């Protein structure tokens, strides 16, 4: 499970941004959010708009950015062990110190729980007020983030984003898109999930380091041609196709062929996890082909010789 913290002051548009991120990436998210008061309005909106793709888990008692007690880390571990989503998105309340949250999460991070690079949303229309009234919180959110997203900027030009970067003294290592997120490509959305955070102690001070995850290239599709497949009865053919679908002999994208079984010709066709067996006219010979990746060649060939 990867943990992604999305911060921003009240009204910055975090809920809408999370909705769009779920739609654009197609990933499974669980949202852990905090509300002032016991009525989680944003949680209801998230669940209603995104359906099964989002699971919202609210902490209505207190604020994680303030308390950071055992209940918070226990909740995170419970989500990891019970739901085990691809991503846990933590949406703290607007006046959040994400550096404290990150330090707490780092204590429970291990090979199954990692930290994605945090994101901060800034209200393009009102960020000056937040910066003036809550300077410490505002700066902590910027300092802890790898990506700054500016909302309510549908009418901004590129030089407006450049001026903001200069005004906030953002380092060149921080990503600030020069367009509103409604114009982002799928690759830009996916990149938010592909950067990890590491906490490094340098000269007695904790520093945040960000690392882009390099995807391992997938093996190209390969195929196995099988001459004269044989099945004693239709049940053995069905068994062979079920084994292919299970994934235990490789990642199968397609399999098709024809053969004679007990004096009757049949065709079979498999695509991903579905297959069909139908009758066929007589053919010159029996044959089959399996297309996919990471094959166990010997096991596949044995499947097509069920005597």
Same structural domain, 23 and 147:
yes
Query: Would you state the pLDDT for residue 65?
Result: 47
Choose between 96 and 15: higher pLDDT: 15
- Paired with 200 in beta bridges are 207
Same structural domain, 267 and 145:
no
In total, the chain counts a number of residues equal to 307
Q: Check which CATH number belongs to the domain holding 250 and give it.
A: 3.30.1220.10
Angle at 99 between CA 112 and CA 143, to 5 degrees: 115
What is the DSSP code (8-state) at residue 210? E
* Domain residue limits at 53: 2-208
Query: Would you state the pLDDT for residue 37?
Result: 35
What is the DSSP code (8-state) at residue 106? H
Distance CA 14, CA 253 (A): 38
Same structural domain, 243 and 112:
no
Of the three residues 166, 186, 208, the one that is the final residue of a domain is 208
Q: Check which CATH number belongs to the domain holding 202 and give it.
A: 3.40.50.300
Q: Is the pLDDT of residue 133 over 70?
A: yes
| Average confidence (pLDDT) over 18-47 | 65
Same structural domain, 80 and 151:
yes
User: Contact, 4 vs 98, CB < 8 A?
Assistant: no
Same structural domain, 20 and 92:
yes
pLDDT band at 214 (very low <50, low <70, confident <90, very high): low
Rg (C-alpha) for the chain, rounded Å, is: 26
| Residue 127: its H or E element | helix 127-133
The model carries a pTM of: 0.61
| Nearest by Cα to 254 from 229, 289, 226, 230 | 289
243-299 residue pLDDT tens: 999 888 888 989 999 999 999 999 999 998 899 999 999 988 999 999 988 888 889
Same structural domain, 203 and 128:
yes
Query: Would you state the pLDDT for residue 36?
Result: 41
Same structural domain, 261 and 190:
no
């Amino acid at each position: 499970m990867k943990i992604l913290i999305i911060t921003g002051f009240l009204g910055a548009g975090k809920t809408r941004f999370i909705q769009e991120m779920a739609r654009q990436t197609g990933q499974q998210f669980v949202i852990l959010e905090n509300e002032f008061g016991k009525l989680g309005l944003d949680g209801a909106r998230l669940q209603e708009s995104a359906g099964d793709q989002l699971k919202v888990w609210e902490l209505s008692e207190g604020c994680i950015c303030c308390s950071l007690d055992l209940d918070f880390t226990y909740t995170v571990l419970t989500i990891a062990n019970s739901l085990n989503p691809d991503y846990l998105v933590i949406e703290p309340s607007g006046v959040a110190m994400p550096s404290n949250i990150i330090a707490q999460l780092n204590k429970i991070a291990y090979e199954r729980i990692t930290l994605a690079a945090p994101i901060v949303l800034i209200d393009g229309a009102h960020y000056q007020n937040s910066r003036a009234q809550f300077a410490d919180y505002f700066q902590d959110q910027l300092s802890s983030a790898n990506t700054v997203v500016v909302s309510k900027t549908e009418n901004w030009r590129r030089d407006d984003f450049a001026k903001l970067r200069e005004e906030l003294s953002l380092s060149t290592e921080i990503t600030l898109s020069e367009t509103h997120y409604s114009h982002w490509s799928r690759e830009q959305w996916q990149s938010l999930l592909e950067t990890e955070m590491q906490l490094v102690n340098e000269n007695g001070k904790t520093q945040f380091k960000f690392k882009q995850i390099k995807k391992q290239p997938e093996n190209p599709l390969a195929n196995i041609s099988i001459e004269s497949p044989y099945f004693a009865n239709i049940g053995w053919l069905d068994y062979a196709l079920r084994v292919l679908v299970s994934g235990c002999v490789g990642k199968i994208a397609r399999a098709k062929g024809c053969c004679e079984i007990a004096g009757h010709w049949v065709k079979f066709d498999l695509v991903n996890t579905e297959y069909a067996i139908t009758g066929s006219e007589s053919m010159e010979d029996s044959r089959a082909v399996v297309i996919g990746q990471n094959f166990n060649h010997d096991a596949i060939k044995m499947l097509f010789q069920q005597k």
